Structure 1
Amino acid sequence: MHPQPPSFKPSVITGQTALITGASSGIGAEFAEQLASRGANLILVARSIEKLEALAASLREKYQVEVHTEKLDLSSPDASKRLSQFVTEQGLQVDFLVNNAGFSSIGPAVEMDPDDTDELVNLNVKAVMENTVRFLPAMVSRGGGVIINIAGTGAFQPAPYMAGRTASAAFVLSFTQALSAENADTGVRIFALCPGPTETPMTAGQSSPLGKMRTPAQVVTTALKALDSRKASVVDGRLNAFVARLGSRLPESMILTLAARIMRGTQIQSHSG
């Protein structure tokens, strides 16, 4: 057992180093902005080095923090291992990990490209799990750290035409909740962040059945407010939280039929990070 040091507060971020995947836009870029504004140094990871470098330059100038960038496709083989090696080679310490990179495929599974399913599982499931278990031991040894894994409100119920996306979100939620309980006395704060429909490049051109989408700024603000709580999962937005929990109260057939009606005919693929 590692008792939590009385002085450790997850929300005290100044001087810590945060590693953010899928950091080039959307929720990942907003995490970078808000953490840098609180004095965190950053390790930004994404496939687009041009976007990363532009963001890094802006954050260095605005907040006078250190920002490292790494071009990496986390769906590729050994990506998590290479990320860990990069951190070690740069002499860095990860105090705050945000597993944000993700892939979403919308449409009937019968029409999915098997290569896309491979990418989805590698990025949404394997990379999240592997990044977490690579950086968690050092945090436990130090008696402090933060891990935020992005799941989504789809984690709370299956959604026809988004079968892979919601199934991977359910994995992230379950995995993260279990780790949160395992590490409750280690000083490491671990929780799943579950956004609903959010205005990001992944959702460009889409609309939300719940009305106006949330913004990345709102999502990240929700996450940072939850740092000093003990919750193993946090849903962004009151309406999203209501809908997410509704699935456990209604008959399965009703939930699936309603979700199918909402999603039927949508054919969009999107990738973050």
Structure 2
Amino acid sequence: MNNKTVLITGASSGIGLEFAKLFAKDHYHLVLNARNEAKLQEIADELTAKHGIQATVVAKDLSMPESAEELTAELMAKNIEIDVLVNNAGFAAYGPFDETSWKEEKDMLQVNIMALTTLTKQLLPGMIKRNSGKILNVASTAAFQPGPLMAVYYATKAYVLSFSEAISYELRNTNVTVTALCPGATSTNFEKRASLEQSRLFQSGAMDADQVALTGYKALMNDKRISVPGFKNKALAQLVRFLPRKAILNIVHYVQDKK
């Protein structure tokens, strides 16, 4: 039996839920985080019964500034060491920047950047001390270019990718690895929350959450620094390196706009 423990944020649905299934199948003990405690407990009970692992639920709203540190404090109080951290929680807001909700965007910055960075800051020293650990940060293909109509979201994912690459390099002489997963459009609750169902981006086709999670899981286990699921997404991530910035802005605006 595997006696390692993984912390997964945003674990109640979508890619986070699929990650929980994959880790449980490989007999990792789980710490599941999201806002919906009842849903998390249902998932924990199901995966515990199916795979004989231990699952701990820590319901925290990571848009609250103190929540990430409260989460790690609770783990310490329960003597739970985290061997793998999956920073999956995140969301987006859609619309011209002058029209979008500042409250929603502040929450987005808190979840997509601050909570991710805080959890990494809190849990990485223990991994380094044990000379063993893995971190997977869920970025996006949005990280590779600016995003008109989702300006703040794209910027947060650019941060996640840059941050992940930098600390991955810093840790190159240890047995701790960092992987940035950069999915494109994925069928989850994400597009509904951001009102993106009718955008050309999602109308052109989206990957399933289980496919994205499996790609990320394999990349994490193989110590890859960056993983982009899907041939189309890989091609687009490379293409932006060769196009003029103005052309990129025009293209991104077009695919994000609603028909």
Q: How far off its partner does 1:228 sit?
A: 4.5
> What's the TM-score, normalizing by structure 1?
0.89
Indicate which of 149, 156, 164 corresponds to 1:168: 156
1:71-150 alignment to 2 at 5 Å?
Answer: 71-150=59-138
The letter of the residue matching 2:205 is K
Which residue pairs with 2:8 in the alignment? 20
**Structure 2 spans left out of the alignment, 5+ residues:** none
**Structure 1 spans left out of the alignment, 5+ residues:** 1-12, 267-273
Moved over 2 A (4+): 207-212, 227-231
| C-alpha separation in 2, matches of 1:184 and 1:224 | 20
Deviates more, 1:48-57 or 1:228-237: 228-237
Deviates more, 1:92-101 or 1:204-213: 204-213
CA contact (8 A) 2:188 2:209 kept: yes
Indicate which of 166, 183, 186 corresponds to 1:178: 166
Indicate which of 190, 195, 209 corresponds to 2:201: 209
Answer yes or no: is 1:70 the counterpart of 2:63: no
Deviations along 1:48-94, whole A, 9 cap, x unmatched?
A: 11110111111011101000001100110211110111101111000
- Aligned positions, number: 254
Structure in which a larger fraction of residues adopt helix: 2
- For the structure 1 residues 41 and 228, does the alpha-carbon distance in structure 2 shift closer, same or farther, using more than 3 Å as the test? closer
The letter of the residue matching 1:251 is P
| C-alpha separation in 1, matches of 2:128 and 2:106 | 32
Indicate which of 152, 155, 158 corresponds to 2:146: 158
Q: Which has the higher contact order (CA 8 A, sep 6+)?
A: 1
Answer yes or no: is 1:196 the counterpart of 2:184: yes
Q: How far off its partner does 1:230 sit?
A: 4.5
CA contact (8 A) 2:19 2:217 kept: no
Deviations along 1:71-121, whole A, 9 cap, x unmatched?
A: 100110211110111101111000000001112001110111111121011
CA contact (8 A) 1:103 1:119 kept: no
CA contact (8 A) 2:13 2:188 kept: yes
| C-alpha separation in 2, matches of 1:103 and 1:212 | 19
CA contact (8 A) 2:84 2:135 kept: yes
Q: How far off its partner does 1:191 sit?
A: 1.1
Which residue pairs with 1:6 in the alignment? none
CA contact (8 A) 2:147 2:249 kept: yes
Indicate which of 52, 55, 65 corresponds to 2:40: 52
